[in-house]
Chains A and B, each alone.
Chain A
Amino acid sequence: MNRPAALWLAVGWGGFALLPWYGVEDGFWSFAWLFDYPAGADAAPALLQILLFGRWWLAPMVLALAAPLVVLWRQRSDPLFSTVLLAAGSFGTVCFLVQGFAIGLGGWEYATLEAFFGPLADRQFGMGYGALLVSASFLFLFAQGIAARGAINGDGFVIGSIALVMALVAAFIFFPVVRILASAFQDNDYNFVPYLFVEKLFSRDIWGVGCLTANVNCGVAWNSLLMAIVVGVSTTVLGLAFALLATRTGFRAKRLLRLLSVLPIITPPFVIGLAIILLFGASGTVTQAIEAITGTTPGRYIYGLPGIWLAQTLAFTPIAFLVLIGVVEGVSPSMEEASQTLRASNWRTFTTVSLPLMRPGLANAFLVGFIESLADFGNPLVLGGNFDVLSTSIFFAIVGAQNDQGRAAVLAIILLAFTLTAFWAQHRWLGHKSYATVTGKGDAGLHVALPRRVTWLVYGSALPWAGLTAVIYFMIMFGGFVELWGRDHSLTLRHYIDAFSITTGAGGLVWSGAAWNSFWTTIYISLISAPLTAAVGLLTAYLLIRQKFAGQEAFEFGTMLSFAIPGTVIGVGYILAFNVPPIELTGTGIILVICFIFRNMPVGVRAGIAAMTQIDKSLDEASLTLGASSFATVRKVVLPLLRPAVIAALVFSFVRAMTAISAVIFLVSANYDMATSYIIGRVENGDYGLSIAYSSVLIVVMVVVILLIQLVVGQRRIGRRDEAVNVAFGAGGAVG
Chain B
Amino acid sequence: MSIKGKAAAVRFDGVSKHYGPVVAVDRISFEVQAGDLVTLLGPSGCGKTTTLRLIAGLEMPTAGSVFIGGDDVSRLPASARDVSMVFQSYALFPHMTVFENVSYGLSVSGVAKAETRDRAEEGLKLVGLSGYGERLPSELSGGQQQRVAVARALVLEPTVLLFDEPLSNLDAKLRRRVREEIRGLQQSLGLTTVYVTHDQEEALAVSDRIIVMRNAEIAQEGVPNELYEAPRDLFVADFIGDANVIDAELVQRDGDYATVRVGGRVDLRLPHRDLPAGPVKIAVRPEAIGLEASEEGAGLTGTVTQSTYVGNHVEYTLDTGLGEIFVADYQYDALIPAGSRVQIAFRDRGVTLLESQT
Q: How far is the CA of A627 from the CA of B85 in the complex (A)?
A: 11
**Does A624 contact B75, Cβ atoms closer than 8 Å?**
no
**Does A624 contact B95, Cβ atoms closer than 8 Å?**
no
If A153-B77, A153-B78, A718-B95 touch, whether A626 touches B138 (CB-CB below 8 Å) is no
Q: How far is the CA of A315 from the CA of B6 in the complex (A)?
A: 66
Q: How far is the CA of A459 from the CA of B59 in the complex (A)?
A: 57
> Which stretch, B9-17, B103-111, B325-333, B347-355, touches the partner chain A?
B103-111
Q: Mark B53-77, 1 if CB is under 8 A from A, else 0.
A: 0001111100000000000000111
Q: Which residues of A contact B156 (CB under 8 A)?
A: 626-627
A residues at B contact (CB < 8 Å):
77, 150, 153-155, 616, 618-619, 621-630, 632, 636-637, 640-641, 716-718
- Tell me, rounded to whole Å, the shortest Cβ–Cβ distance linking B95 to chain A: 5
**Does A627 contact B89, Cβ atoms closer than 8 Å?**
no
**Does A626 contact B75, Cβ atoms closer than 8 Å?**
no
B residues at A contact (CB < 8 Å):
56-60, 75-79, 81, 83-85, 87-89, 91-95, 104-105, 108-109, 136, 138, 152-153, 156, 162
**Does B95 contact A628, Cβ atoms closer than 8 Å?**
no
Which residue in B75, B87, B95, B136 is a CB contact (below 8 Å) of A77?
B75
What are some 27 contacts across the A-B interface (CB < 8 A)? A153-B57, A618-B89, A619-B93, A621-B56, A621-B58, A622-B85, A622-B91, A622-B152, A624-B58, A624-B79, A625-B57, A625-B58, A625-B79, A625-B83, A625-B153, A625-B162, A626-B84, A626-B108, A626-B152, A626-B156, A627-B108, A628-B79, A629-B79, A636-B108, A640-B95, A716-B95, A717-B95
**Does A150 contact B75, Cβ atoms closer than 8 Å?**
yes
Q: Which residues of B contact A717 (CB under 8 A)?
A: 95, 136
Q: How far is the CA of A718 from the CA of B92 in the complex (A)?
A: 13
- Tell me, rounded to whole Å, the shortest Cβ–Cβ distance linking B298 to chain A: 61
Q: Which residues of B contact A629 (CB under 8 A)?
A: 79, 108
**Does B78 contact A621, Cβ atoms closer than 8 Å?**
yes
Least CB separation from A631: chain B residue: B79
Q: Which residues of B contact A621 (CB under 8 A)?
A: 56, 58, 78, 85, 87, 91
**Does A154 contact B93, Cβ atoms closer than 8 Å?**
no
Q: How far is the CA of A640 from the CA of B93 in the complex (A)?
A: 10
Which residue in A624, A627, A641 is a CB contact (below 8 Å) of B109?
A627
Q: Which residues of B contact A153 (CB under 8 A)?
A: 57-60, 77-78
**Does B108 contact A632, Cβ atoms closer than 8 Å?**
yes
Least CB separation from B78: chain A residue: A624
Least CB separation from A619: chain B residue: B91
- Tell me, rounded to whole Å, the shortest Cβ–Cβ distance linking B324 to chain A: 40
Q: Which of B76, B81, B104 has the most CB of A within 10 A?
A: B104
Q: How far is the CA of A625 from the CA of B78 in the complex (A)?
A: 5
**Does B77 contact A624, Cβ atoms closer than 8 Å?**
yes
If A625-B58, A626-B108, A641-B94 touch, whether A718 touches B75 (CB-CB below 8 Å) is no
Q: How far is the CA of A630 from the CA of B79 in the complex (A)?
A: 8
Least CB separation from A77: chain B residue: B75
Least CB separation from A719: chain B residue: B138
**Does B91 contact A618, Cβ atoms closer than 8 Å?**
yes
**Does A637 contact B75, Cβ atoms closer than 8 Å?**
no
Least CB separation from A624: chain B residue: B78
Can you name 18 extra interface pairs (CB under 8 A) apart from A624-B79, A630-B79, A718-B136? A150-B60, A153-B60, A153-B78, A154-B77, A622-B85, A622-B93, A622-B152, A624-B57, A625-B58, A625-B83, A626-B153, A626-B156, A627-B105, A627-B109, A628-B104, A641-B94, A716-B95, A717-B136
Q: Which residues of A contact B57 (CB under 8 A)?
A: 153, 624-625
Q: Which of B81, B87, B91, B153 has the most CB of A within 10 A?
A: B91
Q: Which residues of B contact A622 (CB under 8 A)?
A: 85, 87, 91-93, 152
Q: Which residues of A contact B89 (CB under 8 A)?
A: 616, 618
Interface of A is mostly: helix
**Does A637 contact B77, Cβ atoms closer than 8 Å?**
no
Least CB separation from B138: chain A residue: A718
- Tell me, rounded to whole Å, the shortest Cβ–Cβ distance linking B62 to chain A: 11
Q: How far is the CA of A265 from the CA of B57 in the complex (A)?
A: 45
Which residue in A618, A625, A627, A718 is a CB contact (below 8 Å) of B94?
A718
Q: How far is the CA of A627 from the CA of B76 in the complex (A)?
A: 12
Q: How far is the CA of A628 from the CA of B88 in the complex (A)?
A: 20
Q: How far is the CA of A716 from the CA of B136 in the complex (A)?
A: 13
Q: Which residues of B contact A155 (CB under 8 A)?
A: 77
**Does B105 contact A626, Cβ atoms closer than 8 Å?**
yes
Q: How far is the CA of A616 from the CA of B93 in the complex (A)?
A: 10
Q: Which residues of A contact B105 (CB under 8 A)?
A: 626-628
Q: How far is the CA of A626 from the CA of B104 in the complex (A)?
A: 8
- Tell me, rounded to whole Å, the shortest Cβ–Cβ distance linking B82 to chain A: 8
**Does A623 contact B95, Cβ atoms closer than 8 Å?**
no
Q: How far is the CA of A640 from the CA of B153 in the complex (A)?
A: 22
Q: Which residues of B contact A154 (CB under 8 A)?
A: 60, 75-77
Q: Which residues of B contact A618 (CB under 8 A)?
A: 87-89, 91
Q: Which residues of A contact B87 (CB under 8 A)?
A: 618, 621-622
Q: How far is the CA of A627 from the CA of B156 in the complex (A)?
A: 9
Q: Which 10 A-B pairs have the closest CB atoms?
A: A626-B105, A622-B91, A624-B78, A618-B91, A628-B108, A150-B75, A625-B85, A618-B87, A627-B109, A718-B94
**Does B91 contact A616, Cβ atoms closer than 8 Å?**
yes
Q: How far is the CA of A624 from the CA of B162 in the complex (A)?
A: 14
Least CB separation from B104: chain A residue: A626
- Tell me, rounded to whole Å, the shortest Cβ–Cβ distance linking B287 to chain A: 39
If A625-B85, A626-B105, A628-B104 touch, whether A637 touches B79 (CB-CB below 8 Å) is no
Q: Which residues of A contact B84 (CB under 8 A)?
A: 625-626
Q: Which residues of A contact B56 (CB under 8 A)?
A: 621, 625
Least CB separation from B86: chain A residue: A622
- Tell me, rounded to whole Å, the shortest Cβ–Cβ distance linking B342 to chain A: 49
Least CB separation from B83: chain A residue: A625
- Tell me, rounded to whole Å, the shortest Cβ–Cβ distance linking A612 to chain B: 14
Q: Which residues of A contact B59 (CB under 8 A)?
A: 153
Q: How far is the CA of A629 from the CA of B79 in the complex (A)?
A: 6
Q: How far is the CA of A629 from the CA of B81 in the complex (A)?
A: 11
Q: Which residues of B contact A718 (CB under 8 A)?
A: 94-95, 136, 138
**Does A641 contact B95, Cβ atoms closer than 8 Å?**
yes
Q: How far is the CA of A624 from the CA of B79 in the complex (A)?
A: 5
Q: How far is the CA of A616 from the CA of B95 in the complex (A)?
A: 13
Q: Which residues of A contact B81 (CB under 8 A)?
A: 625
Least CB separation from B82: chain A residue: A627
Q: How far is the CA of A154 from the CA of B95 in the complex (A)?
A: 28
- Tell me, rounded to whole Å, the shortest Cβ–Cβ distance linking A628 to chain B: 4
Q: Which residues of B contact A77 (CB under 8 A)?
A: 75
Q: Which residues of B contact A716 (CB under 8 A)?
A: 95
- Tell me, rounded to whole Å, the shortest Cβ–Cβ distance linking B65 to chain A: 12
- Tell me, rounded to whole Å, the shortest Cβ–Cβ distance linking B157 to chain A: 11
Q: Which residues of A contact B88 (CB under 8 A)?
A: 618
Q: Which residues of A contact B77 (CB under 8 A)?
A: 153-155, 624
- Tell me, rounded to whole Å, the shortest Cβ–Cβ distance linking A679 to chain B: 42
Q: Which residues of B contact A632 (CB under 8 A)?
A: 108
